Amino acid sequence: MPPTPEDQDQPALPPLTPEQADKLPHIHRLLLGYYGQPPAHIPSDPLTQLIHSLLAARTKALAAQQAMRELHRLLNAGPNNWEPLRDASTEDIARIIAIVTFPEQKAPRLKLILQQITARVGSLTLDFLARYRTDKIRSWLEQFEGIGPQISAAVVNLSTLRRRALAIDANHLRVVQRLCITPRADAATTEHRLMRLVPETWDAAILADHHTLIQLHAHTLCTFTEPNCAPCPLLKLCPTGQRNQADLHLTP
Ligand code: SF4
């Protein structure tokens, strides 16, 4: 991951205490116990994952999946054949992906990114990225407008690249902040701090499972408007949940 400004010129960080080192594994075990093992994720090629992640930004997962199916149905676009999407008009793309949020913004962005990749690589593929280090891949992806750390993390972690990264979207950030796992910060800094807490033994697949469990939790109990803390398996670890429960008991 590219260094954040706060890392530059910083002395080496002290080793984690045993409690810090077990923080994410403890949360992971509790969420696994509550929600069960997430279904196995079948990774796509990096370009397909990139398109899916761009569609999925601030959108329900089911809507993004539906938009991917519509691109295939109406443009015959899909893995190893994204040229029809690149070459379609922005109006057509916006109409086809209308089920996701902000289709009128996502359509021209998608088209432009696919055109820029073609111009830089000479063909429309990201398979060559497999030869590079994770930090190089991420900075290469983030050179394109509209691709930030969340999307580059999703591409390297969830695609066939299968690298260690955590895609910190608004849901993931909210849960982490309520749990006070790391000091409050933006998504990029939060990912950097969380990755320090990730055990060496966690490979890309476990990180993808961890992200899925946090997403599930964010949509089930730790929702944006009204977290349901009483049955939450993380309540004992969560300062926000304990405060919420104490407030409930104080309310006449
Ligand atoms: S206790 Fe409440 S605020 Fe904390 S993680 Fe659970 S649902 Fe979210």
Mutate to test the pocket of ligand 1, among 24, 171, 229 (most ligand atoms within 8 A of CB): 229
In short, whether 235's Cβ falls inside 6 Å of ligand 1 is yes
Contact 6, 194 (CB under 8 A): no
Considering the domain 16-40+166-236 in this protein, what is its CATH number?
1.10.1670.10
Q: How far is the CA of 234 from the centre of ligand 1 (A)?
A: 6
Q: What is the pLDDT of residue 6?
A: 42
Please list the alpha-helical segments (H only) found in 88-223. 90-96, 103-121, 134-141, 149-158, 170-179, 187-197, 204-220
Contact 138, 156 (CB under 8 A): yes
Express each pLDDT in 196-221 by its tens digit: 999 999 999 999 999 999 999 999 99
Q: What is the pLDDT of residue 193?
A: 95
Sign for the pseudo-dihedral over CA of 9, 1, 189, 194: negative
Considering the domain 46-158 in this protein, what is its CATH number?
1.10.340.30
Q: How far is the CA of 220 from the centre of ligand 1 (A)?
A: 10
In short, whether 241's Cβ falls inside 6 Å of ligand 1 is yes
| Nearest CA residue ID for atom 4, ligand 1 | 241
Tell me whether domains 16-40+166-236 and 46-158 share a fold: no
* Nearest atom within ligand 1 for CA of residue 178: 3
In short, whether 232's Cβ falls inside 6 Å of ligand 1 is yes
In short, whether 179's Cβ falls inside 6 Å of ligand 1 is yes
Domain ranges for the chain: 16-40+166-236, 46-158
Spatial separation of the C-alpha atoms in residues 133 and 122, rounded to whole Å: 21
Query: In tens digits, what is the pLDDT along the chain, a chain of 252 residues?
Result: 444 444 444 567 788 888 898 999 999 999 999 999 999 889 999 999 999 999 999 888 899 999 999 999 999 999 989 999 999 999 999 999 999 999 999 999 999 999 999 999 999 999 999 999 999 999 999 999 999 999 999 999 999 999 999 999 999 999 999 999 999 999 999 999 999 999 999 999 999 999 999 999 999 999 999 999 999 999 999 999 999 998 887 766
Q: What is the pLDDT of residue 249?
A: 76
Q: What is the pLDDT of residue 126?
A: 98
In short, whether 227's Cβ falls inside 6 Å of ligand 1 is yes
Q: In sequence order, which residues have a C-beta less than 8 Å from that of residue 70 and are 6 or more positions away?
A: 96, 97, 99
Q: What is the pLDDT of residue 247?
A: 83
Spatial separation of the C-alpha atoms in residues 53 and 142, rounded to whole Å: 13
Spatial separation of the C-alpha atoms in residues 98 and 104, rounded to whole Å: 8
Q: How far is the CA of 216 from the centre of ligand 1 (A)?
A: 13
The secondary structure of the chain in percent helix, strand, coil, rounded to multiples of 5, reads: 60, 0, 40
